[in-house]
């Protein structure tokens, strides 16, 4: 079983559309994250949720809205997609409750979003 | 957050050891040193972490300088599958779990 899974793997859409990316973890972790990796390959954290509560919200346009229906899921909804949103989006999870300096994150396979 | 500095790229021959350096001169006393790697077209994966002492696991070894201002990830026998971008990341013991990735080191393994 895949520990952290994301769907879809690829997403091609037109500018202005609204789309969602789903993430599920079966590790029993308390904390989930969304990262964005742009064309220059820099990985940046976008959001972090702990037990369904938003912990980190980096400087991300409010067109991006994470939704956590339960501890095992953290979905990313994007409104009014723009060309600059094209990137690979990674979901991750971690136990979160251990000593934070030792907390290990487990990443999903990524969703490649292409906005035309 | 304390910053890390890594070479942009390194090359290695298959089945030879690889030493990937990381400088973190502004590390604080409570910062852990983590290493992750990202294989092509995959998400990052955890490799190893340490605080002060050298660490070994099935994937790699982590050698930490006595002053903790630098560390080295050691792959004892590089395989083609080890070709990846390796990230050295500092994580504070009291931070909020976020990880700040730098540019990392792209390791090429030659057969």
pLDDT score recorded for residue A47: 87
**Contact residues, chain B, for A43 at CB < 8 Å:** 38, 44, 87, 101
pLDDT tens readout for residues A9-67:
999 999 999 999 999 999 999 999 999 999 888 899 998 888 878 877 777 899 999 99
pLDDT score recorded for residue A43: 92
pLDDT score recorded for residue B97: 61
Q: CA-to-CA distance for A88 and B60, rounded, in angstroms? A: 27
**By a Cβ cutoff of 8 Å, what residues of chain A touch chain B?**
4, 31, 33, 41-45, 48, 50, 55-56, 90, 92, 94, 96, 99-110
Residue B53's contacts (CB-CB under 8 Å, 6 or more residues apart) are: B64
CB contact under 8 A, B101 and A43: yes
Q: CA-to-CA distance for B38 and A83, rounded, in angstroms? A: 25
pLDDT score recorded for residue A54: 82
Contact A19, A81 (CB under 8 A): yes
Q: How confident is the model at residue A98 (pLDDT cuts 50, 70, 90)?
A: low
Strand segments, DSSP code E, in chain A are 4-7, 10-13, 19-25, 31-37, 43-50, 53-57, 64-70, 73-78, 87-94, 106-107, 111-115
Q: CA-to-CA distance for B39 and B106, rounded, in angstroms? A: 10
Q: How many CB contacts within 8 angstroms connect chain A with chain B?
A: 70
Cα-to-chain-centroid distance, residue A91: 4
CB contact under 8 A, B95 and A104: no
Q: CA-to-CA distance for B88 and B73, rounded, in angstroms? A: 9
pLDDT score recorded for residue A97: 59
Q: Does residue A72 carry a pLDDT above 90?
A: yes
CA angle at B41 for the pair B50 and B11, rounded to the nearest 5°: 60
Which of these, B22, B56, B27, B86, lies nearest to A43 by C-alpha position? B86
Q: CA-to-CA distance for B52 and B73, rounded, in angstroms? A: 14
Helix (H), strand (E) at residue A42: none
- Pairing assessment for the beta strands A87-94 and A111-115 based on DSSP bridges: antiparallel
pLDDT score recorded for residue B99: 80
Task: Give the pLDDT of chain B (111 residues) as one tens digit per residue.
Answer: 568 999 999 999 999 999 999 999 999 888 899 999 999 999 999 999 999 999 999 999 999 999 999 999 999 999 999 999 999 999 887 666 668 888 999 999 999
pLDDT score recorded for residue A1: 62
The 3-state DSSP class for residue A100 equals helix
Q: What is the number of other CB atoms lying within 10 angstroms of the CB of residue A55?
A: 16
pLDDT score recorded for residue B96: 60
């Amino acid at each position: 079983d895949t520990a952290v899974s994301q769907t879809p793997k690829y997403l091609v859409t037109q500018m202005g559309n609204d789309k969602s990316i789903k993430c599920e973890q079966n590790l029993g972790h308390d904390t989930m994250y969304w990262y964005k990796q742009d064309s220059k390959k820099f990985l940046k954290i976008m959001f972090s949720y702990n037990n369904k509560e938003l912990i980190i919200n980096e400087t991300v346009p409010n067109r991006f809205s994470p939704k956590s229906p339960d501890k095992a899921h953290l979905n990313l909804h994007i409104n009014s997609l723009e060309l600059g949103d094209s990137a690979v989006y990674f979901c991750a999870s971690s136990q979160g409750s251990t000593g934070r300096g030792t907390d290990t994150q487990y990443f999903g396979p990524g969703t490649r979003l292409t906005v035309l | 957050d304390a910053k890390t500095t890594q070479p942009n790229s390194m090359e290695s021959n298959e089945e030879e050891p690889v030493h990937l350096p990381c400088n973190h001169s502004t590390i604080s006393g409570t910062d852990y040193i983590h290493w992750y790697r990202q294989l092509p077209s995959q998400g990052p994966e955890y490799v190893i972490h340490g605080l002060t002492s050298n660490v070994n696991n099935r994937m790699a070894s982590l050698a930490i300088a006595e002053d903790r201002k630098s560390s080295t990830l050691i792959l004892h026998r590089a395989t083609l599958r080890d070709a990846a971008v390796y990230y050295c990341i500092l994580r504070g013991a009291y931070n909020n779990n976020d990880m700040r990735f730098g540019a990392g080191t792209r390791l090429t393994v030659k057969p």
